[in-house]
Amino acid sequence: MQNLGGAVSLASDLLSGLEVDSARMARNLDLTGGLIHSEAVMMHLSEQLGRLRAHDVLHEVALRIAEGGS
């Protein structure tokens, strides 16, 4: 139990000065062009295509987006 108390205390110290900048968070999320959500999409696709095929499809899409395509 002593380790848990120390971890909670450390987490409290680390988070006490945290400031949330919602606008900056939104800009950071937008940097990926929506790719931040690709894992969730892959999980849904994997139900139909299988995990490896879903990964390959999303990888190809991500490459196209990174190259400026759609």
Write out the two tokens for 62.
Answer: 């991500």
Residue 56 lies in a domain: yes
What's the angle, vertex CA 42, arms to CA 40 and CA 46, rounded to 5?
125
Residue 65 lies in a domain: yes
Residue 14 lies in a domain: no
Q: State the pLDDT at residue 37.
A: 85
Residue 39 lies in a domain: yes
Structure confidence by residue, pLDDT tens digits, 5-43? 889 989 999 999 889 999 999 998 888 877 888 889 999
- Give yes or no for residue 1 having a pLDDT over 60: no
Nearest to 34 by CA among 5, 70, 2: 70
Domain count, the chain: 1
Residues 70 and 50 sit within 8 Å (Cβ to Cβ): no
Residue 34 lies in a domain: yes
Q: State the pLDDT at residue 34.
A: 78
Residues 55 and 42 sit within 8 Å (Cβ to Cβ): yes
Residue 69 lies in a domain: yes
Residue 36 lies in a domain: yes
User: In 10 A of CB 68, how many CB atoms?
Assistant: 7
| Domain limits for position 34 | 20-70
Stretch 41-65: mean pLDDT = 92
Stretch 39-58: mean pLDDT = 93
